[in-house]
Amino acid sequence: MTKLPEQPTYFEAQRWASFCLTTANQPADAARFLLLGLTKLDQTQLLVHYREPLPRAIWERYQAAIQRVVAGEPAQYVLGRAPFYGLDLHVDPAVLIPRVETEELVDWILTDYAEPALTVLDIGTGSGAIALALQTARPAWQLTASDISAAALQVAKQNAQELQLPVTFYQSDLFAGLPATSYDVIVSNPPYIATSETAVMDANVLDYEPKQALFADHQGLAIYEQLAQTVAAHLAPQGRLYLEFGYQQGPTVKRLFEQALPTAEVTLRQDMAGHDRMLRVALP
């Protein structure tokens, strides 16, 4: 990679990074994301400093970070941070990088409920993104979050501590390690990718993100099949389950829950790209 003078301006450094990333067929927006993260500036502050020299220590760290992204590592793991629903979360390879589609799932729940007090369970919490976003928006809600991965829970707990949010965490395979209680709302963005899809997946996802959080048996449907058979026992009367799934799985997942819970109202919702992406199961 071509290097700039010893101390380029903020603008020159970002332009260099964008060129390197584009040449390597990596997302060019990582150049600004990493520069903002390393300098601790916001967008407006960055513009104000654009023509000033980038401090030497940050320039060295920035070059090293860009080289890692050029090699295929996701920028969020390089920085150790990822945005989600207005929050700044710690992330590492123990957890999936939060996606913008999942923000739409949070939106759906918040739109459905304005109640001052609800009990909510987030299954497969990963970085804690969903639970922490809900707790931030609804401080009176009682949030519980679980994950099968102890390493993921460490990340989620760190995020809760940084944000000073009172979410309760459990290590659990679905409901196996949870207290015998019921919840008004259960939400999950579980593993849903079939192993047969690896050929069409991005290399940086396969190489860096945790496979336990990506893949599920039965063509990616295993967790939904288990939830369809067990979730009713853990929902309060008129409780609701909210799920995210792969964009081609909507009709199949909907059918699973309609067959398992014939008295429930099962609703599909599309994401902003027009794909079936979310499901709500409302008990009578």
| Cα dihedral sign, 119-168-79-214 | negative
Q: Does residue 125 have a known ligand-binding role?
A: yes
Residue indicated by tokens 């150790």: 80
Contact between 257 and 281 under an 8 Å Cβ cutoff? The reply is: yes
Which residue, 275, 143, 148, 129, is CA-closest to 223? 148
User: How far is residue 170's CA from residue 236's CA, in Å, rounded to a whole number?
Assistant: 20
Contact between 156 and 126 under an 8 Å Cβ cutoff? The reply is: yes
User: How far is residue 242's CA from residue 257's CA, in Å, rounded to a whole number?
Assistant: 12
CB atoms inside a 10 Å sphere around CB 274:
8
Q: Does residue 126 have a known ligand-binding role?
A: yes
What is the residue-wise DSSP string for 80-137? TEEEETTEEEE--TTSPPP-HHHHHHHHHHHHH---S--EEEEES-TTTHHHHHHHHH
User: How far is residue 69's CA from residue 71's CA, in Å, rounded to a whole number?
Assistant: 5
Residue 157 CB partners (closer than 8 Å, separation 6+): 128, 169
Phi, psi of 282 (to 5 degrees): -110, 120
Q: Does residue 127 have a known ligand-binding role?
A: yes
Which residue, 272, 279, 277, is CA-closest to 258? 279
Q: Which residues are annotated as a binding site?
A: 124-128, 147, 189-192
Q: Which residues are annotated as a binding site for S-adenosyl-L-methionine?
A: 124-128, 147, 189
Q: Which residues are annotated as a binding site for substrate?
A: 189-192
